[in-house]
Amino acid sequence: MKIKKAVIPIAGKGTRFLPATKEIAKEIIPILNIPMIHHIVVEAVESGIEQIIFVTSAGKFAVEDYFDRNLELEAFLEKAGKTKELEMIRKIGTMVDVTSVRQKEQLGLGHAVLMAQELVGQETFAVLLGDDIVMNDVPCTKQLMEVSKRHGGAPVIGVMNVPREDTSKYGIVRGTPLPDDKMTLRMEGMVEKPKPDQAPTTLATPGRYILSPEIFSILKEIPRGAGNEYQLTDAINILCGRRDVYAHQFQGERFDTGHLMGYLDATVDFALRDPALRPAFVEILKQKVLKHKVIL
Instruction: Give residues in contact with ligand G1P (CB under 6 A).
Output: 109, 129, 131-132, 170-171, 192, 204-207, 231-233
Cβ 195 to ligand G1P shortest distance, Å: 15
Q: Which of 99, 148, 151, 96 is nearest to 124 (CA)?
A: 148
Cβ 270 to ligand G1P shortest distance, Å: 19
d(C-alpha 279, C-alpha 161), whole Å: 33
Nearer to ligand G1P, 86 or 236 (CB): 236
Nearer to ligand G1P, 149 or 169 (CB): 169
**C-alpha dihedral (85, 90, 96, 97), degrees to nearest 10:** 140
Nearer to ligand G1P, 36 or 77 (CB): 36
Q: Which of 195, 175, 194 is nearest to 185 (CA)?
A: 175
Task: Supply the angle between the helices 140-150 and 36-46 in degrees, to the nearest 10.
Answer: 30
- Three-class SS of residue 212? coil
Which residue lies nearest ligand G1P, judged by its C-beta? Answer: 171
Cβ 82 to ligand G1P shortest distance, Å: 37
Nearer to ligand G1P, 47 or 205 (CB): 205
Cβ 106 to ligand G1P shortest distance, Å: 10
* Antiparallel, parallel or unpaired: β 208-211 and 156-161: antiparallel
d(C-alpha 29, C-alpha 31), whole Å: 7
Cβ 174 to ligand G1P shortest distance, Å: 14
Nearer to ligand G1P, 55 or 92 (CB): 55
